[in-house]
Amino acid sequence: MRITLKTALLLGALLGTNLVAVESVYAAPKKKSKPVVQKKLVKKASVASSEQLQESRRLAVQSSAALVIEQGGSEALYQKNADLVVPIASITKLMTAMVVLDSVPDLQAPITVTDEDVDYLRGSRSRLHVGSVITRETALLLALMSSENRAANALGRHYPGGLSAFIAAMNRKAASLGMTNSHFEDPTGLTSNNVSTAYDLAKMVGAAHQYPLIREFSTTSDAQVEVSGRLLDYRNTNPLVKSSTWDVGLSKTGYIHEAGKCLVMQARVADKPVVIVLLDSAGKLTRVGDANRIKRWMESASAVRRHSTHA
């Protein structure tokens, strides 16, 4: 016997039973409505898409100057003060490495660290003591991986024609790459007179990425090298090169007071090869934090595009 809604309401009042519960027990079964279910699903998908879109548009980069550009492209995916001319610190060493390799030197030839390589400007430390002998290849590795200043300066001194010829070659190389707002005065970046823009540095990173040895050495996470008969452990100054969530093809960090914390990378993010430039980051972890924020932002935007394509 079917119980009417009126009877159900009366029973509910007498028994103190919840109306919804009474309806679910006593009301006549309703026909399934597929359109209603589909409409709810579409609504949920629409909300999710909206949230992804909002997330993809939010990017709070803390570095004073920044640029994200598709490798080989000219249109910025993100930029912030990308035309500002600023000191670049040890990002310089990418140019140093290119100029060294352009001279097609004997990489196994020994070079000696002298007092001329000691940093009397900043007083930076080094485990390459005066008199240390290393190969040119080892000097390149230490300069790119661990940002070793004495190694970088020694490379410049051992260039044909000496340090002055090396610095001239650095500026010629910059001009040939179209780095019109860049200038170099030393191979290390210890001087604040080594300046560039985020846009110019993206060109430099793109060029440096064409050198297999620079790609290899700049992304080596750690190495043990022999220096004058001693085994020394060195680590990469960029922790992201050994992160399982990153696919880094080239990396270089830098720091002096005038430049702040700097980081340039070539990496594959959201299935896209990009160049990331971060300059004048305040705080020890800001440049790494900015890089991770950019990565999440790009991945979120990619997810939105995929959703739009499949919708």
Catalytic site includes residue 74: no
Number of Cβ within 10 Å of residue 82's Cβ equals 20
Give the Cα separation of 22 and 116 in Å (integer): 92
The whole-number pLDDT of residue 28 equals 40
Given 56, 63, 90, 182, which residue is catalytic? 90
The 3-state secondary structure of the chain, one letter per residue: CCCCHHHHHHHHHHHCCCHHHHHHHHCCCCCCCHHHHHHHHHHHHHHHHHHHHHHHHCCCCCCCEEEEEECCCCCEEEEECCCCCEECHHHHHHHHHHHHHHCCCCCCCEEECCHHHCCCCCCCCCCCCCCCEEEHHHHHHHHHHCCCHHHHHHHHHCCCCHHHHHHHHHHHHHHHCCCCCCECCCCCCCCCCCEECHHHHHHHHHHHCCCHHHHHHHCCCEEEEEECCEEEEEECCCHHHHCCCCCEEEEEEEEECCCEEEEEEEEEECCEEEEEEEEEECCCCHHHHHHHHHHHHHHHHHHHHHHHHHC
Given 126, 147, 218, 300, which residue is catalytic? 147
Number of Cβ within 10 Å of residue 257's Cβ equals 9
Give whole-number Cα distances, 262 to 47, 66, 148, 235, 238, in Å: 38, 10, 16, 17, 10
The whole-number pLDDT of residue 311 equals 57
Pick the closest to residue 49 from 270, 310, 295 (CA basis). Answer: 310
Are 262 and 194 within 8 A, CB to CB?
A: no
The whole-number pLDDT of residue 307 equals 64
Find all residues with CB under 8 Å of 247, minimum gap 6, and list them. 267, 268, 269
Are 280 and 63 within 8 A, CB to CB?
A: yes
Are 294 and 269 within 8 A, CB to CB?
A: yes
Give whole-number Cα distances, 193 to 82, 92, 148, 187, in Å: 18, 11, 19, 11
Instruction: Give helix 92-102 / helix 198-208 axis angle, nearest 10°.
Output: 40
pTM for the structure as a whole: 0.81
Given 56, 63, 80, 93, which residue is catalytic? 93
Catalytic site includes residue 93: yes
Pick the closest to residue 254 from 125, 143, 120 (CA basis). Answer: 143
The domains found in the chain, sorted by start residue, are 1-33 (no CATH), 64-310 (3.40.710.10)
Give the Cα separation of 104 and 124 in Å (integer): 30
The whole-number pLDDT of residue 48 equals 37
Number of Cβ within 10 Å of residue 301's Cβ equals 18
Kindly give the confidence (pLDDT) of every residue in the chain, 311 residues in length, as a single tens digit, with 9 standing for 90 and above.
444 444 443 444 434 444 333 333 333 444 444 333 333 333 333 333 444 444 445 788 999 999 999 998 888 999 999 999 999 999 999 999 999 999 999 999 999 999 999 999 999 999 999 999 999 999 999 999 999 999 999 999 999 999 999 999 999 999 999 999 999 999 999 999 999 999 999 999 999 999 999 999 999 999 999 998 889 999 999 999 999 999 999 999 999 999 999 999 999 999 999 999 999 998 888 999 999 999 999 999 888 777 666 65
Pick the closest to residue 68 from 306, 311, 290 (CA basis). Answer: 290
92 token code pair: 């310089």
**Alpha carbon 17 to chain centroid, angstroms:** 62
Catalytic site includes residue 203: no
Pick the closest to residue 185 from 176, 194, 172 (CA basis). Answer: 194
Strands 260-269 and 222-227: unpaired
